Structure 1
Amino acid sequence: MKEICVITGGGSGMGLAAAKELGDEYQILITGRTIEKLQAAVEDLKMKGIEAEGFPCDVSDRIAVERLAEYASNMGNIKVVIHAAGLSPNMGSAETIMRINAVGTVNVNEVFYGKVIQNGCIINVSSMSGHLVPKMVMPSEKYSLSTTNIELFLKKMMNRVSLFPKKHQSGISYSISKNFVIWYAQMHAEKFAERGIRVFSISPGLFETPMADAERELSQGFVEKCAIKRYGRVEEIAYLFKVLSNEKAGYLTGIDILCDGGCIASGTKGLLKV
Protein backbone atom coordinates (compact mmCIF):
# COMPACT_ATOMS: atom_id res chain seq x y z
CA MET A 1 0.00 0.00 0.00
CA LYS A 2 1.29 3.47 -0.91
CA GLU A 3 2.03 6.04 1.74
CA ILE A 4 -0.29 9.04 1.98
CA CYS A 5 0.23 12.58 0.74
CA VAL A 6 -2.31 15.08 2.06
CA ILE A 7 -2.72 18.30 0.07
CA THR A 8 -4.83 21.14 1.40
CA GLY A 9 -6.15 23.42 -1.30
CA GLY A 10 -5.78 20.49 -3.66
CA GLY A 11 -8.82 21.19 -5.80
CA SER A 12 -7.02 23.51 -8.24
CA GLY A 13 -3.86 25.47 -8.94
CA MET A 14 -0.63 24.50 -7.22
CA GLY A 15 -2.32 21.97 -4.97
CA LEU A 16 -3.80 20.00 -7.86
CA ALA A 17 -0.54 20.21 -9.81
CA ALA A 18 1.28 18.83 -6.76
CA ALA A 19 -1.19 15.94 -6.58
CA LYS A 20 -0.45 15.07 -10.21
CA GLU A 21 3.31 15.27 -9.64
CA LEU A 22 3.37 13.17 -6.46
CA GLY A 23 0.63 10.75 -7.47
CA ASP A 24 3.09 8.20 -8.81
CA GLU A 25 4.65 7.82 -5.35
CA TYR A 26 1.76 8.40 -2.95
CA GLN A 27 -1.91 7.82 -2.49
CA ILE A 28 -3.34 11.33 -2.62
CA LEU A 29 -5.88 12.93 -0.30
CA ILE A 30 -6.87 16.41 -1.48
CA THR A 31 -8.89 18.81 0.60
CA GLY A 32 -10.74 22.05 0.06
CA ARG A 33 -13.89 23.92 1.02
CA THR A 34 -15.80 23.37 -2.25
CA ILE A 35 -17.10 19.83 -2.70
CA GLU A 36 -17.82 20.22 -6.42
CA LYS A 37 -14.26 21.39 -7.11
CA LEU A 38 -12.84 18.48 -5.11
CA GLN A 39 -14.97 15.97 -6.98
CA ALA A 40 -13.82 17.32 -10.34
CA ALA A 41 -10.19 17.25 -9.22
CA VAL A 42 -10.43 13.67 -7.97
CA GLU A 43 -11.94 12.56 -11.28
CA ASP A 44 -9.12 14.33 -13.12
CA LEU A 45 -6.51 12.56 -10.99
CA LYS A 46 -8.16 9.15 -11.37
CA MET A 47 -8.24 9.57 -15.15
CA LYS A 48 -4.44 9.90 -14.95
CA GLY A 49 -4.21 6.64 -13.01
CA ILE A 50 -3.61 8.29 -9.63
CA GLU A 51 -5.12 6.87 -6.46
CA ALA A 52 -6.94 9.87 -5.03
CA GLU A 53 -9.70 10.84 -2.64
CA GLY A 54 -11.23 14.14 -1.66
CA PHE A 55 -12.21 15.33 1.80
CA PRO A 56 -13.93 18.70 2.38
CA CYS A 57 -12.17 20.77 5.03
CA ASP A 58 -11.95 24.41 6.09
CA VAL A 59 -8.44 24.68 7.53
CA SER A 60 -9.42 27.60 9.76
CA ASP A 61 -11.68 25.17 11.68
CA ARG A 62 -9.51 23.14 14.10
CA ILE A 63 -12.10 20.39 14.50
CA ALA A 64 -12.41 20.02 10.73
CA VAL A 65 -8.63 19.63 10.44
CA GLU A 66 -8.66 17.00 13.18
CA ARG A 67 -11.30 15.07 11.23
CA LEU A 68 -9.17 15.35 8.11
CA ALA A 69 -6.11 14.02 9.91
CA GLU A 70 -8.06 11.11 11.36
CA TYR A 71 -9.45 10.21 7.95
CA ALA A 72 -5.98 10.38 6.39
CA SER A 73 -4.54 8.20 9.16
CA ASN A 74 -7.16 5.56 8.47
CA MET A 75 -6.07 5.50 4.82
CA GLY A 76 -2.47 4.63 5.72
CA ASN A 77 0.81 6.16 6.85
CA ILE A 78 0.92 9.92 6.24
CA LYS A 79 4.33 10.77 4.77
CA VAL A 80 3.84 14.21 3.20
CA VAL A 81 1.55 17.13 3.95
CA ILE A 82 1.46 20.02 1.49
CA HIS A 83 -0.45 22.91 3.01
CA ALA A 84 -1.44 24.95 -0.04
CA ALA A 85 -4.86 26.21 1.07
CA GLY A 86 -5.10 29.97 1.26
CA LEU A 87 -6.86 33.14 0.17
CA SER A 88 -5.47 36.04 -1.84
CA PRO A 89 -6.39 39.69 -1.12
CA ASN A 90 -9.34 39.66 -3.54
CA MET A 91 -10.85 36.48 -2.13
CA GLY A 92 -12.11 37.57 1.28
CA SER A 93 -12.16 40.12 4.07
CA ALA A 94 -8.97 40.93 5.95
CA GLU A 95 -10.01 38.78 8.92
CA THR A 96 -11.10 35.84 6.77
CA ILE A 97 -7.74 35.95 4.99
CA MET A 98 -5.92 35.94 8.33
CA ARG A 99 -8.00 33.06 9.65
CA ILE A 100 -7.47 30.89 6.57
CA ASN A 101 -3.82 31.71 5.92
CA ALA A 102 -2.36 32.10 9.42
CA VAL A 103 -4.70 30.26 11.80
CA GLY A 104 -5.12 27.56 9.15
CA THR A 105 -1.35 27.05 9.09
CA VAL A 106 -1.27 26.60 12.86
CA ASN A 107 -4.15 24.13 12.73
CA VAL A 108 -2.68 22.00 9.95
CA ASN A 109 0.82 21.89 11.42
CA GLU A 110 -0.19 21.25 15.02
CA VAL A 111 -2.68 18.53 14.12
CA PHE A 112 -0.46 16.72 11.60
CA TYR A 113 2.57 17.02 13.87
CA GLY A 114 1.20 13.97 15.68
CA LYS A 115 0.18 12.13 12.50
CA VAL A 116 3.05 12.34 10.01
CA ILE A 117 5.39 9.35 10.15
CA GLN A 118 9.14 9.54 10.75
CA ASN A 119 11.14 10.89 7.80
CA GLY A 120 8.02 12.65 6.57
CA CYS A 121 7.60 16.36 6.00
CA ILE A 122 5.15 19.25 6.06
CA ILE A 123 5.49 21.87 3.34
CA ASN A 124 3.69 25.15 4.00
CA VAL A 125 2.93 27.46 1.09
CA SER A 126 3.71 31.09 1.86
CA SER A 127 4.14 33.79 -0.81
CA MET A 128 6.74 36.23 -2.05
CA SER A 129 4.37 38.83 -0.57
CA GLY A 130 5.65 37.72 2.83
CA HIS A 131 9.05 39.07 1.76
CA LEU A 132 7.87 42.31 0.19
CA VAL A 133 6.32 44.35 2.99
CA PRO A 134 8.84 46.18 5.21
CA LYS A 135 9.68 44.38 8.45
CA MET A 136 8.42 47.33 10.49
CA VAL A 137 4.90 46.53 9.24
CA MET A 138 5.01 42.93 10.44
CA PRO A 139 3.86 42.32 14.04
CA SER A 140 6.40 39.51 14.31
CA GLU A 141 6.92 40.08 18.03
CA LYS A 142 3.35 38.78 18.49
CA TYR A 143 3.68 35.68 16.28
CA SER A 144 4.58 33.44 19.23
CA LEU A 145 1.06 33.94 20.62
CA SER A 146 -0.05 31.49 17.92
CA THR A 147 1.26 28.62 20.02
CA THR A 148 -0.37 29.69 23.28
CA ASN A 149 -3.55 31.65 22.56
CA ILE A 150 -4.76 31.52 18.98
CA GLU A 151 -7.62 33.98 19.42
CA LEU A 152 -5.35 36.54 21.08
CA PHE A 153 -2.88 35.99 18.24
CA LEU A 154 -5.64 36.69 15.72
CA LYS A 155 -6.69 39.81 17.63
CA LYS A 156 -3.13 41.18 17.65
CA MET A 157 -2.73 40.50 13.92
CA MET A 158 -5.96 42.30 13.12
CA ASN A 159 -5.02 45.21 15.39
CA ARG A 160 -1.99 45.77 13.16
CA VAL A 161 -4.06 45.43 9.98
CA SER A 162 -6.57 47.98 11.28
CA LEU A 163 -3.86 50.66 11.33
CA PHE A 164 -3.98 50.83 7.53
CA PRO A 165 -6.61 52.40 5.26
CA LYS A 166 -9.58 50.15 4.61
CA LYS A 167 -8.74 49.68 0.94
CA HIS A 168 -5.33 48.23 1.83
CA GLN A 169 -6.36 45.99 4.73
CA SER A 170 -6.95 42.77 2.78
CA GLY A 171 -3.56 43.13 1.09
CA ILE A 172 -1.79 43.86 4.37
CA SER A 173 -3.54 40.93 6.05
CA TYR A 174 -2.38 38.68 3.23
CA SER A 175 1.24 39.82 3.52
CA ILE A 176 1.31 39.48 7.30
CA SER A 177 -0.29 36.05 7.17
CA LYS A 178 2.25 34.82 4.63
CA ASN A 179 5.16 36.30 6.58
CA PHE A 180 3.83 34.41 9.57
CA VAL A 181 3.91 31.14 7.60
CA ILE A 182 7.63 31.65 6.96
CA TRP A 183 8.23 32.39 10.65
CA TYR A 184 6.24 29.33 11.73
CA ALA A 185 8.36 26.85 9.78
CA GLN A 186 11.58 28.42 11.02
CA MET A 187 10.56 28.55 14.66
CA HIS A 188 9.21 24.99 14.82
CA ALA A 189 11.89 23.09 12.92
CA GLU A 190 13.54 21.80 16.10
CA LYS A 191 10.26 20.68 17.62
CA PHE A 192 9.27 18.78 14.48
CA ALA A 193 12.74 17.24 14.16
CA GLU A 194 12.25 15.58 17.53
CA ARG A 195 9.66 13.38 15.78
CA GLY A 196 11.77 12.94 12.68
CA ILE A 197 9.65 15.36 10.63
CA ARG A 198 10.97 18.13 8.42
CA VAL A 199 9.00 21.37 8.12
CA PHE A 200 9.58 24.30 5.83
CA SER A 201 7.84 26.87 3.66
CA ILE A 202 7.85 27.73 -0.01
CA SER A 203 7.20 31.29 -1.14
CA PRO A 204 5.84 31.21 -4.70
CA GLY A 205 5.90 34.25 -6.89
CA LEU A 206 3.45 34.77 -9.73
CA PHE A 207 2.07 31.53 -11.10
CA GLU A 208 -0.68 30.72 -13.58
CA THR A 209 -3.44 29.80 -11.14
CA PRO A 210 -7.07 30.83 -10.56
CA MET A 211 -5.86 32.84 -7.56
CA ALA A 212 -3.37 34.72 -9.73
CA ASP A 213 -6.08 35.47 -12.28
CA ALA A 214 -7.98 37.38 -9.59
CA GLU A 215 -4.90 39.53 -8.94
CA ARG A 216 -3.67 39.91 -12.53
CA GLU A 217 -4.09 43.67 -12.77
CA LEU A 218 -1.81 44.18 -9.76
CA SER A 219 0.64 41.41 -10.58
CA GLN A 220 1.49 42.38 -14.15
CA GLY A 221 3.81 45.12 -12.93
CA PHE A 222 5.77 42.58 -10.91
CA VAL A 223 6.13 40.21 -13.89
CA GLU A 224 7.67 42.97 -15.97
CA LYS A 225 10.30 43.57 -13.27
CA CYS A 226 11.16 39.89 -12.68
CA ALA A 227 14.38 38.31 -13.88
CA ILE A 228 12.27 35.67 -15.68
CA LYS A 229 9.63 37.81 -17.34
CA ARG A 230 6.66 35.47 -17.27
CA TYR A 231 4.27 33.81 -14.89
CA GLY A 232 5.42 30.52 -13.43
CA ARG A 233 3.81 27.26 -14.51
CA VAL A 234 2.21 25.22 -11.75
CA GLU A 235 4.12 22.17 -12.96
CA GLU A 236 7.34 23.95 -12.04
CA ILE A 237 6.44 24.46 -8.42
CA ALA A 238 4.83 21.02 -8.23
CA TYR A 239 8.20 19.55 -9.14
CA LEU A 240 9.77 21.57 -6.32
CA PHE A 241 7.27 20.04 -3.89
CA LYS A 242 8.29 16.60 -5.11
CA VAL A 243 12.01 17.27 -4.71
CA LEU A 244 11.63 18.69 -1.21
CA SER A 245 9.42 15.83 -0.05
CA ASN A 246 11.98 13.24 -1.10
CA GLU A 247 14.11 11.75 1.68
CA LYS A 248 17.20 12.60 -0.36
CA ALA A 249 16.54 16.19 0.78
CA GLY A 250 16.54 14.92 4.37
CA TYR A 251 18.93 17.56 5.72
CA LEU A 252 16.66 20.40 4.66
CA THR A 253 14.31 21.87 7.24
CA GLY A 254 13.33 25.12 8.93
CA ILE A 255 13.83 27.36 5.91
CA ASP A 256 11.82 29.26 3.32
CA ILE A 257 12.46 28.63 -0.36
CA LEU A 258 11.64 31.57 -2.60
CA CYS A 259 10.41 30.43 -6.02
CA ASP A 260 9.54 33.69 -7.74
CA GLY A 261 11.34 33.91 -11.07
CA GLY A 262 13.81 36.34 -9.53
CA CYS A 263 11.22 38.97 -8.59
CA ILE A 264 12.66 39.74 -5.17
CA ALA A 265 16.22 39.54 -6.51
CA SER A 266 15.33 42.07 -9.22
CA GLY A 267 14.32 44.71 -6.70
CA THR A 268 10.51 44.53 -6.82
CA LYS A 269 10.15 45.67 -3.20
CA GLY A 270 9.90 49.20 -4.50
CA LEU A 271 6.70 48.36 -6.36
CA LEU A 272 4.71 47.61 -3.22
CA LYS A 273 2.93 50.56 -1.63
CA VAL A 274 1.53 50.33 1.91
Structure 2
Amino acid sequence: MKQVCVITGGGSGMGLATAKVLGKDNYILIVGRTQKKLENAVAELACEGIEAEYFVCDVADRDSVNELVAKATSLGNIFTVIHAAGLSPNMGNAKALLQVNAIGTINIHEAFYEVMEEGSSIIDVSSMSGHMVPSLIIPKKLYRLSRIDKDLFLRKMLNRIKILPGKLKAEVAYAVSKNFVIWYSKTDAVKFGNKGMRVLSVSPGFFETPMGELEKKRTDAYIKNSAIKRMGHVEEIANLLSFCVSDKASYLTGTDILCDGGCIASG
Protein backbone atom coordinates (compact mmCIF):
# COMPACT_ATOMS: atom_id res chain seq x y z
CA MET A 1 0.00 0.00 0.00
CA LYS A 2 1.00 3.62 -0.50
CA GLN A 3 2.49 5.60 2.36
CA VAL A 4 0.29 8.68 2.52
CA CYS A 5 1.19 12.14 3.76
CA VAL A 6 -1.79 14.42 4.39
CA ILE A 7 -1.04 18.15 4.31
CA THR A 8 -3.80 20.56 5.27
CA GLY A 9 -3.27 24.07 3.98
CA GLY A 10 -1.25 22.41 1.24
CA GLY A 11 -2.31 24.62 -1.64
CA SER A 12 0.45 27.18 -1.17
CA GLY A 13 3.14 28.48 1.17
CA MET A 14 4.56 26.21 3.84
CA GLY A 15 2.19 23.35 3.09
CA LEU A 16 3.08 23.19 -0.59
CA ALA A 17 6.79 23.55 0.13
CA THR A 18 6.56 20.65 2.57
CA ALA A 19 4.73 18.55 -0.01
CA LYS A 20 7.69 19.02 -2.35
CA VAL A 21 10.04 17.57 0.26
CA LEU A 22 7.87 14.76 1.61
CA GLY A 23 6.58 13.92 -1.85
CA LYS A 24 9.92 12.39 -2.76
CA ASP A 25 9.10 9.36 -0.61
CA ASN A 26 5.36 9.57 0.05
CA TYR A 27 2.06 9.86 -1.77
CA ILE A 28 0.73 13.36 -1.09
CA LEU A 29 -2.85 14.32 -0.30
CA ILE A 30 -3.07 18.09 -0.14
CA VAL A 31 -6.06 19.64 1.55
CA GLY A 32 -7.65 23.07 1.48
CA ARG A 33 -10.86 25.00 0.96
CA THR A 34 -10.19 26.43 -2.52
CA GLN A 35 -10.35 23.88 -5.31
CA LYS A 36 -8.58 25.98 -7.94
CA LYS A 37 -5.61 26.59 -5.66
CA LEU A 38 -5.40 22.87 -4.91
CA GLU A 39 -5.59 21.98 -8.61
CA ASN A 40 -2.71 24.35 -9.34
CA ALA A 41 -0.69 22.88 -6.48
CA VAL A 42 -1.15 19.31 -7.73
CA ALA A 43 -0.08 20.41 -11.21
CA GLU A 44 3.02 22.08 -9.75
CA LEU A 45 3.89 18.94 -7.83
CA ALA A 46 3.39 16.81 -10.93
CA CYS A 47 5.94 18.96 -12.78
CA GLU A 48 8.45 17.88 -10.14
CA GLY A 49 7.54 14.21 -10.52
CA ILE A 50 5.60 14.06 -7.27
CA GLU A 51 2.47 11.90 -7.05
CA ALA A 52 -0.31 13.87 -5.42
CA GLU A 53 -3.99 14.54 -5.39
CA TYR A 54 -6.19 17.00 -3.57
CA PHE A 55 -9.23 17.00 -1.34
CA VAL A 56 -11.44 20.00 -0.61
CA CYS A 57 -12.09 20.20 3.13
CA ASP A 58 -13.08 22.73 5.78
CA VAL A 59 -11.20 21.63 8.89
CA ALA A 60 -13.62 23.57 11.10
CA ASP A 61 -16.40 21.20 9.97
CA ARG A 62 -16.10 17.77 11.63
CA ASP A 63 -18.18 16.06 8.91
CA SER A 64 -15.83 17.47 6.29
CA VAL A 65 -12.82 16.19 8.25
CA ASN A 66 -14.42 12.76 8.54
CA GLU A 67 -14.74 12.70 4.75
CA LEU A 68 -11.07 13.67 4.50
CA VAL A 69 -10.09 10.78 6.76
CA ALA A 70 -12.10 8.35 4.65
CA LYS A 71 -10.37 9.62 1.53
CA ALA A 72 -6.90 9.41 3.09
CA THR A 73 -7.38 5.85 4.37
CA SER A 74 -8.64 4.76 0.95
CA LEU A 75 -5.29 5.75 -0.52
CA GLY A 76 -3.06 3.73 1.82
CA ASN A 77 -1.40 3.87 5.22
CA ILE A 78 -1.30 7.37 6.72
CA PHE A 79 2.32 8.10 7.55
CA THR A 80 1.84 11.65 8.77
CA VAL A 81 -0.54 14.58 8.91
CA ILE A 82 1.00 18.03 8.56
CA HIS A 83 -1.76 20.29 9.82
CA ALA A 84 -0.85 23.68 8.33
CA ALA A 85 -4.36 24.99 7.60
CA GLY A 86 -5.20 28.21 9.38
CA LEU A 87 -6.40 31.79 9.16
CA SER A 88 -4.45 34.96 9.98
CA PRO A 89 -6.02 38.13 11.46
CA ASN A 90 -6.45 39.62 7.99
CA MET A 91 -8.44 36.61 6.80
CA GLY A 92 -11.39 36.50 9.17
CA ASN A 93 -13.10 37.70 12.33
CA ALA A 94 -12.49 36.36 15.82
CA LYS A 95 -15.07 33.58 15.51
CA ALA A 96 -13.72 32.36 12.16
CA LEU A 97 -10.16 32.39 13.50
CA LEU A 98 -11.09 30.29 16.52
CA GLN A 99 -13.20 27.91 14.45
CA VAL A 100 -10.47 27.19 11.91
CA ASN A 101 -7.34 27.43 14.05
CA ALA A 102 -8.59 25.89 17.30
CA ILE A 103 -11.64 23.77 16.47
CA GLY A 104 -9.97 22.69 13.23
CA THR A 105 -7.00 21.32 15.16
CA ILE A 106 -9.28 19.42 17.53
CA ASN A 107 -11.16 17.91 14.58
CA ILE A 108 -7.96 16.79 12.85
CA HIS A 109 -6.58 15.18 16.01
CA GLU A 110 -9.78 13.40 16.99
CA ALA A 111 -10.57 12.07 13.53
CA PHE A 112 -7.10 10.93 12.49
CA TYR A 113 -6.29 9.40 15.89
CA GLU A 114 -8.88 6.73 15.16
CA VAL A 115 -7.22 5.53 11.94
CA MET A 116 -3.49 6.20 12.26
CA GLU A 117 -1.12 3.47 13.34
CA GLU A 118 2.11 2.99 15.27
CA GLY A 119 5.00 5.00 13.89
CA SER A 120 2.83 7.76 12.42
CA SER A 121 2.67 11.39 13.52
CA ILE A 122 0.71 14.62 13.49
CA ILE A 123 2.59 17.90 13.27
CA ASP A 124 0.51 21.00 13.98
CA VAL A 125 1.65 24.32 12.56
CA SER A 126 1.11 26.95 15.24
CA SER A 127 2.73 30.40 15.17
CA MET A 128 5.26 32.60 16.91
CA SER A 129 2.20 34.63 17.96
CA GLY A 130 1.23 31.80 20.27
CA HIS A 131 4.34 32.58 22.31
CA MET A 132 3.57 36.30 22.51
CA VAL A 133 0.23 36.26 24.33
CA PRO A 134 0.52 37.90 27.77
CA SER A 135 -0.09 35.25 30.39
CA LEU A 136 -2.78 37.38 32.02
CA ILE A 137 -5.06 37.06 29.00
CA ILE A 138 -4.40 33.41 28.13
CA PRO A 139 -7.64 31.61 29.05
CA LYS A 140 -5.93 28.30 29.82
CA LYS A 141 -8.64 27.20 32.23
CA LEU A 142 -11.02 27.28 29.28
CA TYR A 143 -8.72 25.14 27.14
CA ARG A 144 -9.78 22.05 29.08
CA LEU A 145 -13.34 22.49 27.80
CA SER A 146 -12.07 21.61 24.32
CA ARG A 147 -12.10 17.94 25.32
CA ILE A 148 -15.48 18.12 27.05
CA ASP A 149 -17.74 20.34 24.94
CA LYS A 150 -16.35 22.05 21.82
CA ASP A 151 -19.37 24.33 21.40
CA LEU A 152 -19.12 25.54 24.99
CA PHE A 153 -15.36 25.95 24.58
CA LEU A 154 -15.87 28.16 21.53
CA ARG A 155 -18.56 30.27 23.20
CA LYS A 156 -16.49 30.83 26.34
CA MET A 157 -13.42 31.75 24.31
CA LEU A 158 -15.42 34.24 22.23
CA ASN A 159 -16.93 35.77 25.36
CA ARG A 160 -13.43 36.49 26.65
CA ILE A 161 -12.43 38.14 23.37
CA LYS A 162 -15.65 40.19 23.00
CA ILE A 163 -14.58 42.50 25.83
CA LEU A 164 -11.63 43.78 23.76
CA PRO A 165 -11.75 46.86 21.49
CA GLY A 166 -12.86 46.06 17.94
CA LYS A 167 -9.49 46.31 16.20
CA LEU A 168 -7.89 43.98 18.73
CA LYS A 169 -10.43 41.17 18.58
CA ALA A 170 -8.99 39.38 15.53
CA GLU A 171 -5.38 39.92 16.61
CA VAL A 172 -5.97 38.45 20.05
CA ALA A 173 -8.18 35.64 18.71
CA TYR A 174 -5.37 34.64 16.35
CA ALA A 175 -2.69 34.67 19.04
CA VAL A 176 -4.86 32.82 21.56
CA SER A 177 -5.92 30.24 18.97
CA LYS A 178 -2.27 29.53 18.17
CA ASN A 179 -1.38 29.37 21.86
CA PHE A 180 -4.18 26.83 22.17
CA VAL A 181 -2.72 24.74 19.33
CA ILE A 182 0.59 24.52 21.23
CA TRP A 183 -1.23 23.48 24.42
CA TYR A 184 -3.47 20.98 22.64
CA SER A 185 -0.56 19.31 20.86
CA LYS A 186 1.41 18.95 24.08
CA THR A 187 -1.49 17.60 26.07
CA ASP A 188 -2.39 15.06 23.39
CA ALA A 189 1.10 13.52 23.40
CA VAL A 190 0.37 10.79 25.97
CA LYS A 191 -2.87 9.78 24.27
CA PHE A 192 -1.09 9.44 20.92
CA GLY A 193 1.94 7.84 22.55
CA ASN A 194 -0.21 5.03 23.91
CA LYS A 195 -0.72 3.98 20.28
CA GLY A 196 2.94 4.47 19.36
CA MET A 197 2.26 7.75 17.55
CA ARG A 198 3.85 11.17 17.95
CA VAL A 199 2.27 14.61 18.03
CA LEU A 200 3.96 17.97 18.33
CA SER A 201 3.72 21.54 17.05
CA VAL A 202 6.01 23.86 15.14
CA SER A 203 5.67 27.63 15.57
CA PRO A 204 6.95 29.55 12.56
CA GLY A 205 7.83 33.22 12.65
CA PHE A 206 7.58 35.41 9.58
CA PHE A 207 7.92 33.52 6.33
CA GLU A 208 7.68 34.43 2.66
CA THR A 209 4.19 33.06 2.03
CA PRO A 210 0.92 34.54 0.75
CA MET A 211 -0.23 34.78 4.39
CA GLY A 212 3.08 36.39 5.33
CA GLU A 213 2.62 39.04 2.65
CA LEU A 214 -0.72 40.05 4.20
CA GLU A 215 1.07 40.70 7.49
CA LYS A 216 4.22 42.31 6.03
CA LYS A 217 3.64 45.92 7.15
CA ARG A 218 3.05 44.79 10.70
CA THR A 219 6.07 42.49 10.76
CA ASP A 220 8.83 44.78 9.45
CA ALA A 221 9.73 46.09 12.91
CA TYR A 222 9.95 42.59 14.36
CA ILE A 223 12.24 41.44 11.56
CA LYS A 224 14.48 44.49 11.90
CA ASN A 225 15.10 43.66 15.56
CA SER A 226 15.31 39.88 15.27
CA ALA A 227 18.48 37.79 15.46
CA ILE A 228 18.29 36.84 11.76
CA LYS A 229 17.14 40.01 10.08
CA ARG A 230 15.01 38.61 7.29
CA MET A 231 11.85 36.64 6.66
CA GLY A 232 12.17 32.88 6.56
CA HIS A 233 12.14 30.95 3.30
CA VAL A 234 9.42 28.32 2.99
CA GLU A 235 12.03 25.67 2.21
CA GLU A 236 13.48 26.21 5.69
CA ILE A 237 10.24 25.42 7.48
CA ALA A 238 9.49 22.60 5.03
CA ASN A 239 12.80 20.93 5.90
CA LEU A 240 12.07 21.29 9.62
CA LEU A 241 8.59 19.78 9.26
CA SER A 242 10.00 16.95 7.16
CA PHE A 243 12.62 16.20 9.81
CA CYS A 244 9.95 16.16 12.54
CA VAL A 245 8.02 13.38 10.81
CA SER A 246 11.10 11.30 10.00
CA ASP A 247 12.57 8.37 11.91
CA LYS A 248 15.47 10.67 12.84
CA ALA A 249 13.05 12.48 15.17
CA SER A 250 11.42 9.35 16.60
CA TYR A 251 11.97 10.51 20.22
CA LEU A 252 10.42 13.93 19.58
CA THR A 253 6.87 14.42 20.83
CA GLY A 254 4.77 16.54 23.16
CA THR A 255 6.66 19.76 22.52
CA ASP A 256 6.68 22.89 20.40
CA ILE A 257 9.54 23.98 18.16
CA LEU A 258 9.85 27.75 17.69
CA CYS A 259 11.34 28.61 14.29
CA ASP A 260 11.25 32.40 14.12
CA GLY A 261 14.73 33.65 13.23
CA GLY A 262 15.21 34.73 16.83
CA CYS A 263 12.26 37.17 16.98
CA ILE A 264 11.09 35.98 20.40
CA ALA A 265 14.66 35.74 21.67
CA SER A 266 15.24 39.37 20.68
CA GLY A 267 12.49 40.49 23.03
TM score, norm. by length of structure 1: 0.96
Q: 1:229 deviation in Å?
A: 0.2
> Could you tell me how far apart the structure 2 residues matched to 1:185 and 1:159 are?
24
Identity of aligned residues (%): 55
Q: In the TM superposition, what is the alpha-carbon distance from 1:159 to its structure 2 partner?
A: 1.0
Cα offset, 1:131, TM superposition: 0.4
The aligned counterpart of 2:23 is 23
Which residue pairs with 1:202 in the alignment? 202
Encode CA deviations 1:98-133: one digit per residue, 9 max, x unaligned: 100000000001101112221110000000000011
Q: What is the Cα deviation at residue 2 of structure 1?
A: 3.3
Are 1:129 and 2:134 matched, yes or no?
no
Q: Matches of 2:115 and 2:221 in 1, distance apart?
A: 42
Please state whether the residue corresponding to 1:58 is helix, strand or coil. Answer: coil
1:182-221: CA deviations, max 9, x gaps?
A: 0001111000001111000000000000001111110111
Paired residues, number: 267
Counterpart Cα distance in 2 of 1:8 and 1:236: 18
Mapping for residues 1-274 of structure 1, pairs under 5 Å: 1-267=1-267
Q: Distance in 2 between matches of 1:45 and 1:153?
A: 38
Secondary structure, counterpart of 1:217 in structure 2: helix
Inter-partner Cα distance in structure 2 for 1:109 and 1:247: 21
User: 1:232 deviation in Å?
Assistant: 0.1
Offset, 1:163: 1.7
Query: How far did residue 248 of structure 1 move?
Result: 2.0
Alpha-carbon separation, structure 1, partners of 2:130 and 2:195: 28
Gaps of 5+ in 1: 268-274
Q: What TM-score do you get using the length of structure 2 for normalisation?
A: 0.99
Q: Deviations over 1:196-255 (max 9, x none)?
A: 110000000000000011111101111111100000000000000111100221111000
* Contact 2:82–2:124 under 8 Å retained in 1: yes
Q: 1:270 maps to what in 2?
A: none
Q: Which residue of 2 aligns with 1:272?
A: none
- Does the CA-based 8 Å contact 1:2-1:25 persist in structure 2? no
* Structure 2 residue runs without a partner (length 5+): none
1:178 deviates by 0.1
The residue type equivalent to 2:84 in the other structure is A
1:62-83 Cα offsets, whole Å, 9 max, x none, are 0000000110000000010000
Write the distance in 1 (CA, Å) between the matches of 2:202 and 2:161.
24
Moved over 2 A (4+): none
Deviations 1:150-199 (A, max 9, x none): 00000111111112101110000000000000000111100000111100
Q: Which amino acid aligns with 1:121?
A: S
Check whether the contact 2:2–2:75 (CA below 8 A) recurs between aligned residues: no
Find the residue that maps to 1:70 and give its secondary structure. helix
